[in-house]
Amino acid sequence: MVERQLRRRSIRDECVLQAALEIPREEFVPIESRVLSYRDDPVPIGFGQTISQPYITALMAECLELRGSETVLDVGAGSGYSAALLGALAARVFAIELIPALAAQARKNLERAGCGGNVVIIAGDGSLGYPQFAPYDAISVAAGAPDVPPALFEQLRDPGRLVIPVGPMADQELRVVSKRDGQIESRVVTLCRFVPLRGMQGWQS
């Protein structure tokens, strides 16, 4: 997976590659789907949600340019795999998941995989962020939003970096939004397709 799906597709951050190599992705996939764990595809994890394909998860992590000292907010924790990857790259990760049963499963997955020591899973509306521990040096959003939720931008440290899929429900652009000295810069990394970001500042229907 690391050589064919990540390195050959221009993932260059060696810390991201090493984390992807070490984290047992199969621990974050339902037992009945574990044969698909290392496929270059999203995999259903129940509740109408998916674990993103390995390349997209690695790309989002690389875009955050983490160096190990950061506090990160992970929106749309799902089964916990992205939180595990971010936890290997940053000091602390707060991962928020809208579906309580999925949040509970993510906690179990992280514990079983042995990579959740610096990761906290919260059940809640990720579109509103998690202000208790803001500001965040980096924010990763693994669900498609109609626009960047204002709450997330407010909780982003200056300087800070946010990666998020933005666009209609069917297809989105993966954007990296940077905040520095009060100025905002945004760039499109790739086209993508994520499950919708549900919540007060996401999709409400």
The residues annotated with a catalytic role in the active site are 52
Q: What are phi and psi of 127, to 5 degrees?
A: -65, -20
* 2, 39, 79, 148, 192 from 185: Cα distances, Å: 30, 33, 31, 13, 20
- Residue 185, SS3 per DSSP: strand
* Runs of H (alpha helix) within the chain: 14-22, 54-63, 81-87, 100-113, 150-154
- What tokens does 176 get? 């990296």
Distance CA 203, CA 205 (A): 6
Among 84, 10, 62, smallest CA distance to 174 is for: 62
Note whether 89 and 63 are within 8 A (CB).
no
Note whether 131 and 109 are within 8 A (CB).
no
